Structure 1
Amino acid sequence: MGLLNGILGNMSEVTPEEIQKQFGKFLMEDEKIERGYKLVRDMIVFTDTRIIFMDRQNVTGKKAAYRSIYFMSIIDVAAETAGFGIDDSEIVITYLTNVHRQGLTEQHAEVKFEFPKSFDFTPLYRFLENIAYQNRLAINQLTRVEY
């Protein structure tokens, strides 16, 4: 079933040992791995600072490209639950691509994560949504209002 989920674009959670083996050498000083997900050969890792993408390339998979999205850049998160049939759940993250986090000058991009129906993505969604909300407050230099 794991391979079928991979072929369909779904991710599965990876053990901390496998994450450390693949990503340990790419971590910044004092950066901690929180969790990771695998899609056939590619992986996505969440640390306490950023999201790291590993894209295995060519037939052998020995060549890999790594890219990061820092939490400070995340400005929006959207989620879609699985439907009937072979639908899956997904989270779409919108993040700033420019260095300066200033209102009215933003440039952004999106990345989509797909998860199998059986995976409860709501804790990850809430975590990312909180980051996006705090970043919006900081960018707009607002203080949080309690409702």
Structure 2
Amino acid sequence: MIDFQNGSVFKLKKADNSAAKDVEALFIPGEEIISCYKGLRDYVVFTNKRAISVNVQGMTGKKKDFTSLPYSKVQAFSVETAGVLDMDSELEIYFSGLGKVKFEFSGASDIIQIGKTIGAYLL
């Protein structure tokens, strides 16, 4: 499992949804991809049900750790959009039993759409 207690876990950039092919086997009926973001090796797939973070391990990268973060377990969340000088955006999610998970996005992101989806589960 990724160490989510370690402040900012990822500095993510928008990726095409083809990076999410590895996680599609984990999808439940009706689950759809909202967006996919990639770091150096690790990536996060946001669906309409949860966020799935993928920790790529080993020299070859064939070993992967998939951590499912269901929106139904979210107690609170915070969305910070990009500004004029600060082009980064942030998403902080507080999960029951896990605590805070923070994702940092560089460049263009669907942060508002992700926030709407999480909000639909909470409100």
Which TM-score applies when normalising by structure 1?
A: 0.63
Larger relative helix fraction: 1
The answer as to 2:47 corresponding to 1:15 is no
User: Match for residue 127 of structure 1?
Assistant: 116
Return the offset for 1:25. 1.6
- 1:78 CA displacement: 1.7
Count of residue pairs the alignment pairs up: 114
Distance 1:75 1:132, change over 3 A: farther
More strand by share: 2
Distance 1:123 1:77, change over 3 A: same
**Unaligned ranges ≥5, structure 1:** 1-8, 98-107, 135-147
For residue 110 of structure 1, give the secondary structure of its aligned residue in structure 2.
Answer: strand
**Aligned runs of 1:2-81 on 2, under 5 Å?**
9-19=10-20, 21-81=21-81
Percent identity for Structure 1 against Structure 2: 27
Which one has a bigger Cα radius of gyration? 1
Runs of 4+ displaced beyond 4 Å:
81-87
TM-score by length of 2: 0.74
